[in-house]
Every structure is written in structure tokens, then in C-alpha cells.
A = this chain, B = another copy of it.
Amino acid sequence: MKKKLIISLLTLAFAAPLLAQTWIWYPGDYELWLGNKMNNRRTERGTFFPPFWKMASHYVLVEFSKQIDLLQPEEIEIAVEGKYNVKLDGKLQFGAPKKLLLSAGKHSLNIKVHNQATPPAIFVKGKSVNTDASWKVTFEDKEWIDESGKASDTSATVYMAAGCWNFNTPQELPSQFRLAVEKQSAVSKKELASGELIDFGKETFGYIIIKGLTGDGIVNIYYGESPEEAQDTEHCETLDKLQIKGTSVINLATGVSTPLLNGEYTLDNNKAFRYVYVTTEKGVQFSDVSMLYEYMPEEYRGSFRCNDEEINKIWDVGAYTMHLTTREFFIDGIKRDRWVWSGDALQSYLMNYYLFFDSESVKRTIWLLRGKDPVTSHTNTIMDYSFYWFLSVYDYYMYTGDKAFVSQLYPRMQTMMEYVLGRTNKNGMVEGLTGDWIFIDWADGYLEKKGELSFEQVLFCKSLETMALCAKLVDDKEGQTKYNGLASALRAKLEPTFWNESKKAMVHGCMNGKQSEAVTRYSNMFSVFFNYLKDDQKQEIKHSVLLNDSIMKITTPYMRFYELEALCALGEQNAVMKEMKAYWGGMLREGATSFWEKYNPEDKGTQHLAMYGRPYGKSLCHAWGASPIYLLGKYYLGVTPVKEGYKEFAIKPVLGGLKWMEGDVPTPKGKIHIFMNKRFIKVVAGEGSGYLYFTTTRKPKVSVGKIEEVTKNSYRLWIDTKEEVIVKY
């Protein structure tokens, strides 16, 4: 019975609603527009604080087209965001028609839209003619007529497949998109000398609501991820200042005036907080503070449970951290930047593949991070972040199998790589030039950023390999040869340039042909899971670097992500489990309700809140804090795609010291369910087929299929059924 239930649920998951018609736009354009809105919502103590990189914009004039062949006449409805015209079989229709009758037979339908403020977008609904990704779109339709009125060759026009998301009715205007909201109450209030401290019980995000407002004067709202921050009116990172004037409220931070209805006012701008401290000038009173929680509706398609409740808590808080930072885009953290950063986003994508499997959010974020040509700087101005961007595309393809997206994006991958290649030195390596931010990590010690850094070359090499893979995917043979050549040449230089045989490690960098003395973890970690070194070298690195306390420690969950990934890749799941409990468990013991931007176990008390020279500069809800989601899914449940979109998977479950674990890993249209304890493994693979790998010194038995022994005590089992498979081992 149980088995059957699982299967029928999976069947439901497959049956995504088949809505043919949806709003369409120039691919990437809506994403850039929405991203600009997102990136321009940051405030610092009541002041607008936008990014410092170039923002791209949508094409303001776009033509949509579709070739149609109708068996019967049909009427179509047309909805448009922008000023537009409609051309049927080359003939302009009067005005801006909202309906159009198409006769049976072949037609060409063209809709041209101009919109400066929001992306040109159209929605067409008919019986068979419906807007979707099969429509073509161009920003330059090179359509000329000569003096006699004859149309010239239009073959020069470059068309793209239209972009879309999930706006499936004419009323859901893409430009009006808002995240979901839900009223929530505070869990406690405390009257203090000069104000009221309200606690919402855990890290959250949304719009503060103040009720029972009366009188004229000022209300100050100080937000805090900690009670210290909220009450420190001079240093808290975010605040609002309201001027109550009779029947209206002006937010002096934003300048927005809102009518006061029945004494209730909802803030016009959203914030991250657990605590708010509200003070008033005399003459103003309020009765209650609550909130409108704002969130991206997400289905938790991944799951994890085990015998260790601390690990379960880590997974839950990780998932919540991911949910809070998964907004219009995958952002860094909800309090401070609220920006889309490529290095942060890459980790969000990877966690997402083991949690929401929300591919649309991945695509949106990748579009936004790329912007448009000409490329005038690295992604977010950071060299490493350009490289992560390349890596994200092929990752996305492997997890989703969505080749169409790679095809749409590939031209911008090429121009991005041209930018990088235009800045290489005589050795074909990248070095920080004027305008490049070399980030690597927030480190407590000194990090050299000049010269040829091994970390940047490793990422660069992987980026070139990614370009070659994507070139192959889109059948760009010339590109494939070029990028493969560049990748091989660079790869061949990595070991001779950076490997130090006496240190048994990659050194941090190389300047004027001379290796630096310093060894840092970064390039060593990446070389391990990129397989850039020989097996014995990797094992050496484990001891000389990864498990060596004299090498500068990593204090951000950001780089711990890769550090622990490297250890898992070396089979150190037991050690990593302990690390997770110590590090993420450490944050929980400090009272974390979401994971942090940085955590140094050696810090004490309010030291945990400080960063960037500011007492509350640190973000206490940072996407990169949630990496156990990824590690537990990929290296414990052990599920990865072997072929794109999980056409073939690999399952290598590892208990890593746990007694039992159980969980789901989502796939494009289904999920893979695992249960494992020390005696048996149960797998229900809802999509794809692939090998289950396991080791045992006993003789394993299986309910379905045939176990093969790969090496001594190592086995594999081909799973090609959607039924439950039980292996006793």
C-alpha cells in the first residue's frame, strides 16, 4: 500500500498543468528588469543603497512572431504590456486590436511592442494559437522596403526563442509580479524605557504593520536580527522613520506617503528582522505591531531526516535560510545587501537542486548576473564571480537537462569569455587588473590578491572547460575546439606552476615566475573536487591542507561549503558530519534561527554580530550559510545526475556516522527517495535510471535487479524501475 501511494504521488508530480498560453518576452529581459528592482531595494539606515556595478536594461522595442497553420478559423485574444501593433500576413491591423479573427490556413502573425518602463510582453490566447516559448522574438527586425514598396530580404534578423515564466492569464501582468504575503504576529513584546521591543520569534522578512496609530508626530522603527541590533538606535543596519500627520503616514526614509486607515499602517518597504524596536515621539501612540510576511512560494521537494536531531535541526534551519533568501532571485542575505551575487548564487543553485528544484529561479538569476553586452567588468565586478557564473550554466544543464536555456544564453557566454580572455597575461593566466575585485573569501588573515593566483586559475580553467561543453551542446564546433584548446593549455600549466612538492600542496599564487610561500585552502579544495590532481596528490592535500590546522582556517560558511565538499569527495563523510555538528551546530547553540554570513567559533557574544567594521554589519541570514542542504543531499543521500536532467543518476549513500537517514532528492519531474540504515538501503527512483553504489563486507541481497561487485566489497546495482528497491547489505 505504501509503495503504491508513493508512486501515485510521483505521478501527480509529473503531471504539471499543461497551460499552453503564457506571457512571453525577450529572453532575459524580464529577468533583468525584475532584477534591477530587486537590486535597488537595499537601504542602509533609511537611505537607498544601490549596487556599484552596471545595470542592464530590457530592449524597449521588440517584435514577436509565429508561423501558424490552422485547420479551422479561430479568434485570438491579445494582451500586451506596451504600445503595440499587430501584423497578420504582413498587413498591419488597425489600432491596437485586442481580438483578431484568423481564417483557416497558413498565417504569419507579428506583434511589435514598445515599452520603456517595463519589458515589452505579450499574451495571446486562442484555441490553438497561444503564446509560449515556441514564439520567436527579435529586437532588430531589419525589415526594409524599397521605393516601390517591395519588402527587402529580412534574413539578417536574428531571432531568439521567447522567454516566459508562469504568468498564464491575461490578468497576470508580468510587470505587476509580487511575492506572496501572509499576515503574521509577534511572539512577544517588551516595554522598555523609551520604546517597545517586539520579537517575531525567528528571523523573518516582510512589511511591519502598526495598528492603533493616533496623534501627530514621529514613529521610529529600528530593525534587528538580534535584540542588541534593534535596540542600538545609533548603529542598527536598517530603520524607518514615520511621520504621522492626521490621516496620512509619510515614511521619511522613502518619502512615500500612505493614507492611514482605521489607525493601521503597513510599511511601504520590506525588511529583514527578528526584532523591531519601536519608539515614538510624544504625541503619537500605537497599540500593536505585527507583520506581513513576504515569501516566494516554494515546494520543499527535497527532504532529510536522520537519527541525529541536531543534524535534522541543521537541515531545517538550512532550508528556512534558503527559503528566506530565495526571493525574486537567489540573493545573498535578506538584511543588508539583498543583492544577487554570483558566488553566493552558485551555492544557492546547488542547494536548490536538493531542496526546491526551482529551475525558474536559477534561470532568472543566471540571466540577471550576466546582464548585457558590452561586458565592461567582471560579474558583480569580481573575477571569481565571473567564473562561478560560467560554472553555474553547465551545472544547471546537468541537473535539469534544459538545453534550450543553454542555447539562449550561449551568445552571452561567448562575449563574457571574450572579456575574460581579453584580460589574460602572457602566460594565458588571469591576474587582477584595474577594476577587478579579487574576492576569494572574507578571511581573518592576510590574503594576497596580486599576481597569478592558483585559485583564480583553477576557476578559469573550469570555466574554459564549461565553455567547451556548452559549445558542444549548441553545436558550435569552432568554439568547442577553441575552448578545449585553451582549457587544455591552462590545465597543463596548473601543476607545474602551483604544485609544491615539499609542501604537498598548491601554493596560493605565483608572481614573476616565483611561487609564493603561502598555502591557502582555496585552490587545493577546488582541485580536489574538480579532479585536477592525481589521486595521491589529493590524498596528500587532505592531510597537508584540509585537515591541517596550521593552514589559515575558513570562517565563512561560503568557503566551508567547498572545503567540506572536498572532504566528502575524498570519502571523509564521518569527519564532515562532525564538522557540520560543530560549525552549524555551533551557530544553533548561539541561538541562530537562520544561518550566518560568517561564523568564527572563537568569537564571543556580540562579536558574532559585527562585520565590515560595523557592530551589526554581519548578515544573520545568508544563503551561503545553508550548505548542509547540499552536502546532505549530494554526499550522504548521495544522489547526483550522471546524464543531463537525471536521465541517468548515481546514488552513493553514505551514513557518515549516522545510524539511519531518509530523504528525497528532487529531479526535474519527480524525486528519488532514499532510506538507509546499517542493514539495508531502500530506494524509490521516481525518474531516470542509474546505479546505486554501496560497500559491505557482508553478502548483499536485493529485492529487484542484479547486484554487481565492482571491486572487493564494492557493489553496484542498476535501478531501472519506479518501484521500491530494497538492498540488504
Contacts and interface: CB of A to CB of B under 8 A. Distances in A.
Interface of A: 33, 36-37, 40, 44-55, 57-61, 83-85, 92-96, 112, 114, 116-118, 139-150, 152, 155-157, 241, 252-255, 373-374, 376-377, 381, 415, 434-437, 442-443, 611-614, 617
Given A116-B36, A434-B155, A611 B147 contact: yes
A374 B373 contact: yes
Given A47-B94, A149-B614, A141 B52 contact: yes
B140 A40 contact: no
Contacts of A59: 54-55, 57
A49 B92 contact: yes
B150 A613 contact: yes
Nearest to A252: B95
A156 B85 contact: no
Contacts of A144: 52, 381, 437
B54 A57 contact: no
A83 B116 contact: no
Contacts of A40: 61, 83, 114
Q: Number of copies of this chain in the oligomer?
A: 2
Contacts of A376: 140
A534 to B, nearest CB: 35
Contacts of A117: 116-117
A149 B54 contact: no
B116 A33 contact: yes
Nearest to A253: B95
A55 B140 CA distance: 8
A136 to B, nearest CB: 15
A52 B611 contact: no
Given A48-B85, A53-B140, A54-B139, 15 more contacts: A36-B60, A36-B61, A44-B92, A47-B94, A48-B83, A48-B114, A50-B85, A51-B61, A55-B60, A57-B116, A116-B117, A140-B376, A155-B434, A156-B377, A373-B373
B57 A156 contact: no
A561 B343 CA distance: 59
Contacts of A139: 54-55
Contacts of A155: 434
18 contacts: A33-B116, A36-B116, A45-B92, A47-B93, A47-B95, A48-B85, A48-B114, A49-B92, A50-B85, A54-B140, A94-B253, A96-B255, A142-B377, A147-B612, A149-B612, A149-B613, A156-B377, A373-B373
B112 A50 contact: yes
Contacts of A143: 52
A181 to B, nearest CB: 22
A85 B116 contact: no
Contacts of A37: 116
A373 B118 CA distance: 21
Given A59-B54, A255-B96, A85 B435 contact: no
Interface centre among A48, A93, A139, A145 (most CB of B within 10 A): A48
8 nearest interchain CB pairs? A149-B613, A156-B435, A117-B117, A149-B612, A54-B140, A147-B442, A48-B85, A57-B57
B52 A140 contact: yes
Contacts of A61: 36, 40, 50-51, 54-55
B85 A45 contact: no
Contact of A142 (B45, B52, B58, B373): B52
B142 A49 contact: no
A92 to B, nearest CB: 5
Nearest to A51: B61
A228 to B, nearest CB: 18
Contacts of A437: 142, 144, 152
A118 B148 CA distance: 38
Contacts of A435: 142, 156-157
A241 B95 CA distance: 9
A445 to B, nearest CB: 11
B377 A50 contact: no
A45 to B, nearest CB: 7
A232 to B, nearest CB: 16
B55 A145 contact: no
A252 to B, nearest CB: 5
A615 B677 CA distance: 85
Contacts of A157: 435
Given A45-B94, A95-B255, A613-B148, A381 B142 contact: yes
A252 B96 CA distance: 8
A143 to B, nearest CB: 5
B381 A95 contact: no
Contacts of A84: 48
Nearest to A57: B57
A169 to B, nearest CB: 21
A604 to B, nearest CB: 19
A613 B145 CA distance: 10
A114 B36 CA distance: 9
Contact of A49 (B85, B150, B415, B614): B85
